[in-house]
Amino acid sequence: MRIVILDGYTANPGDLSWDKLKELGECTIYDRTAPDEVLQRAAGAEILLTNKVVLNSETIAALPDLKYIGVLATGYNVVDAVAAKQRGIVVTNIPAYSTPSVGQMVFAHILNITQQVRHYSDEVREGKWGSSPDFCFYDTPLIELLGKKIGIIGLGQTGFNTARIAIGFGMKVWAHTSKSRLQLPPEIKKIEIDQLFHECDIISLHCPLTETTRELINAQHLSLMKPTSILINTGRGGLINEQDLADALNSGKIYAAGLDVLSDEPPRSDSPLLTAKNCFITPHIAWANFEARQRLMQIAVSNVKAFIDGKPVNVVKG
């Protein structure tokens, strides 16, 4: 079978190997593919792998040989799964590969904000500690996590793993989830979303981006939050109205935000969050440590092999 990878660089910038995939067919790998290059590069492919290259209904219709689309990520909104299903094209994703690393990033942001790690590292380099009359130096609030309430929106695998880490810190875990109370362990309390915004000290987003959740974080919900509260987003940038969040940060309606995703990636130069007060942004790297990418590639190859063997797995709904 002819296999084409449209944008393999972020998953494998050179520290991993595509050799196992190459064993399954004639394989062409592109680091990146611009929108106007998709049809030319995908022409004749029976198996097409994409991470962030969009495959809409028009593109799918123009690829008559296509039998399988493998998304090199958990979210598959870059593919028109309905159009693919109508054509009989199997679409798969890669669930759960980044669960540990996303939870790690959530708490990297939380700890950076509550302990001001970057701030104090810079202060020490600038000589502030060296010129202090005391054995220690601090000029910002430092926040203990023990007993704080963390509200988790979306209790899938990444949300649940984040909850487990929070419990380890001695935090009270509240969740807005479609799961019933009987499905939750006693350490996790199910609550309505307005109560979560109103009472939680930290809110972490783990829900999928749908028409229901798009811009869930908006002026209305931000107005319910405490001025000491912290917002974390390692999910999807579109979950947040970015201007509303910037306004809330700049006016002191909430204390800080830690974001690993934005609505435009890379961000526009005029993004209001780039200059917002107490807004800490990492460049969509929660998924990108070596171990997670290694799992991603192993599952991607297994998905392709299962399809070739006539027993597809991790098939998404169209």
Catalytic residues: 236, 265, 284
Q: Helix (H, G, I), strand (E, B), or coil: what is residue 173?
A: strand
Determine the Cα angle at 317 with ends 93 and 180, to 5°.
95
The pair of structure tokens assigned to 211 is 């028409």
DSSP string, 280-317: EE--S-TT-SHHHHHHHHHHHHHHHHHHHTT---SBPP
The reply to whether omega before 266 is within 30° of 0 (cis) is yes
Q: What is the DSSP letter of 267?
A: P
Match 């392709």 to its residue by tokens. 304
Give me the torsion for CA of 9, 11, 12, 16, rounded to 10°: -170
Contacts of 102 (CB under 8 A, 6+ apart): 158, 161, 162, 234, 286, 287
Spatial CA neighbour of 72 closest among 53, 59, 90:
53
Residue pair 249/278 in contact (Cβ under 8 Å)? The answer is yes
